[in-house]
């Protein structure tokens, strides 16, 4: 490890280090810099060919707002949030396809060294470490591979416990002060009747001692709410994202982690995003361990816990069981994230179950459409292949596709589609010979 001598400078002085054509890295989610970004936005005009790698921008980025025509900055994201999606629609942001759990390896093996990494951290602790806070992910690999490392101190950043949770001052080139903003919060979406119906079906499959992975969205949140109100006990958590719903489950006494085979007794995650309620809970909380994403997300690690239950959303599924969870045709909307890795890790777990959930319909331009379709929308990206699909859940039922023929899959998926679309789907399935003539 190269020893560096950190120097305290201003955000404007840090932004002055950027030269045309450089690769910058803003890290991920709540670890993305704000003071540096604002300073770089002020001087972006003379620069060209700046490439910035990130993941889920939690608030608008000054460099993009200062370059509305995209003449100076190219923004690359490993997962889109709402802001990234808006900029992608405007032709200013680009998706970098990844399995999230593999990203540390990408930095160490395949991504050229980063010119400047800028990471927002908690203020330096008594041991000389800048804590990554709730954005562990691949930041350890990033700082190892960066030519220049800048940390932006943020007094509001929760200090988290776990493994590889920070960078030592001896690895840092420059330290800049933060801008004093509070942490960005992710509003907790309203839970619908459809969410509750899906959640009831999934909750009925969760046993005492199960180890949960909870994805983002209304349906996984509804599962947390139902389980918190149930009599279930000794749940474990091994998840990618720590959420408000998991805090609710813990405070309801449903989580002990006592039956986990690894990280026993601990809530294991790699990042968190939610409300101040969540940030206050994880701050200096030894019950919650933040690990690099290759620990939380790689299937061979996930499977080491028994009875893993992975709960994730999709937006469209075809009659063979392919789930498209990250795009709307050629329009990119989110990312592969950890979905496929948790589907595989849960299935490989002894007694494990994977649930892909979705509402049966959605509205587009005032027209109600089915999310279960004969064939995926042209251009849609397959996130979870048909061969990996286990449980699929809508408000109309829960089916297991493992070991099922193409015809059986089609019949099962049609059975949980909205009733208004079932006849059309069955007719199409026969027309395309997904269901053979005379099949019952």
Give the domains, in start order, of the chain with CATH numbers.
Answer: 7-177 (3.40.1080.10), 193-431 (3.40.1080.20)
User: pLDDT at position 219, please?
Assistant: 85
What's 208's DSSP letter?
T
Phi, psi (rounded to 5 degrees) for 4: -115, 160
Matching residue, tokens 């390896």: 105
The angle, 0 to 180 degrees and rounded to 10, between the axes of the packed helices 406-415 and 419-431 is 160
| HSE (side-chain half, CA atoms, 13 Å) at 325 | 25
Q: What is the mean pLDDT of each run of 10 residues along the chain (440 residues)?
A: 82 98 98 98 94 97 95 96 96 96 97 96 98 98 97 98 98 97 88 92 96 87 90 97 95 97 98 96 98 98 98 97 96 96 98 97 93 98 98 98 97 98 97 84
Is 0.75 topped by the overall pTM? yes
Rounded to whole angstroms, how far apart are CA atoms 103 and 140? 11
The closest alpha carbon to 374, from 438, 316, 440, belongs to 316
Q: How far apart are the first and last CA of the chain?
A: 65
User: pLDDT at position 437, please?
Assistant: 81
What's 326's DSSP letter?
S
Rounded to whole angstroms, how far apart are CA atoms 329 and 353? 29
Rounded to whole angstroms, how far apart are CA atoms 104 and 82? 24
Q: How many helices (H) and strands (E) would you count in the chain?
A: 15, 28
Q: Retrieve residue 250's tokens.
A: 């813990």
* Contacts by residues 179-183 (CB-CB < 8 Å, ≥ 24 positions apart): 179/11, 179/34, 179/35, 179/38, 180/155, 181/34, 181/154, 181/156, 182/156, 182/276, 183/30, 183/154, 183/156, 183/157, 183/158, 183/276, 183/279
What 3-state DSSP class applies to 290? strand
Q: From its phi and psi, is residue 210 left (phi > 0), alpha (psi between -120 and 50) or beta?
A: beta
User: pLDDT at position 2, please?
Assistant: 61
What's 30's DSSP letter?
G
User: pLDDT at position 440, please?
Assistant: 59
Strand partners, 369: 362
Rounded to whole angstroms, how far apart are CA atoms 239 and 341? 11
The closest alpha carbon to 282, from 180, 185, 162, 178, belongs to 162
Compute the chain's Rg from CA coordinates: 22
Matching residue, tokens 């499977």: 303
User: pLDDT at position 280, please?
Assistant: 98
Catalytic residues: 240
Q: Retrieve residue 60's tokens.
A: 């608008």
């Amino acid at each position: 490890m190269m020893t560096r001598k950190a120097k305290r400078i201003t955000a404007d002085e840090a932004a002055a280090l950027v030269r045309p054509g450089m690769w910058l890295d803003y890290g991920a989610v709540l670890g993305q810099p704000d003071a540096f970004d604002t300073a770089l936005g002020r001087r972006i005009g003379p620069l060209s060919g700046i490439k910035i790698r990130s993941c889920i921008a939690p608030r608008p980025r000054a460099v993009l707002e200062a370059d509305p025509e995209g003449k100076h900055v190219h923004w690359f994201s490993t997962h889109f949030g709402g802001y990234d999606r808006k900029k992608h629609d405007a032709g200013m942001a680009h998706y970098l396809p990844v399995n999230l759990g593999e990203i540390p390896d990408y930095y160490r093996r395949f991504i050229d060294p980063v010119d400047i990494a800028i990471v927002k951290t908690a203020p330096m602790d008594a041991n000389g470490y800048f804590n990554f806070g709730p954005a562990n992910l691949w930041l350890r690999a990033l700082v190892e591979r960066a030519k220049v490392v800048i940390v932006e101190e943020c007094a509001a950043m929760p200090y988290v416990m776990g493994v590889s949770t920070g960078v030592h001052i001896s690895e840092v080139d420059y330290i800049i002060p933060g801008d004093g903003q509070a942490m960005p919060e992710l509003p907790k979406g309203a839970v619908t009747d459809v969410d509750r119906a899906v959640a009831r079906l999934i909750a009925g499959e969760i046993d005492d001692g199960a180890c949960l992975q909870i994805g983002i969205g209304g349906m996984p949140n509804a599962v947390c709410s139902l389980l918190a109100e149930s009599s279930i006990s000794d749940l474990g958590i091994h998840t990618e994202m720590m959420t408000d719903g998991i805090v609710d489950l813990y405070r309801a006494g449903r989580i002990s982690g006592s039956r986990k085979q690894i990280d026993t007794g601990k809530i294991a995650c790699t990042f968190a995003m939610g409300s101040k309620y969540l940030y206050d809970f994880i701050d200096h909380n030894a019950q919650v361990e933040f690990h690099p994403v290759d620990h939380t997300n790689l299937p061979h690690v996930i499977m080491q816990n028994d009875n893993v239950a992975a709960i994730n959303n999709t937006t469209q599924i075809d009659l063979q069981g392919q789930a498209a969870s990250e795009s709307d045709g050629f329009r990119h909307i989110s990312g592969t994230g950890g979905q496929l890795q948790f589907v595989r890790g849960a299935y490989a777990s002894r007694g494990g179950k994977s649930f892909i959930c979705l509402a049966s319909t959605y509205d587009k331009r005032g027209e109600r459409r089915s999310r279960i379709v004969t064939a995926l929308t042209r251009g849609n990206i397959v996130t979870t292949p048909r061969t990996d699909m286990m449980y699929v859940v809508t408000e109309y039922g829960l089916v297991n596709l493992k070991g099922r023929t193409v015809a059986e899959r089609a019949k099962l998926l049609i059975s949980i589609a909205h009733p208004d679309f079932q006849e059309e789907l069955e007719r199409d399935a026969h027309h395309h010979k997904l269901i053979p003539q005379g099949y019952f």
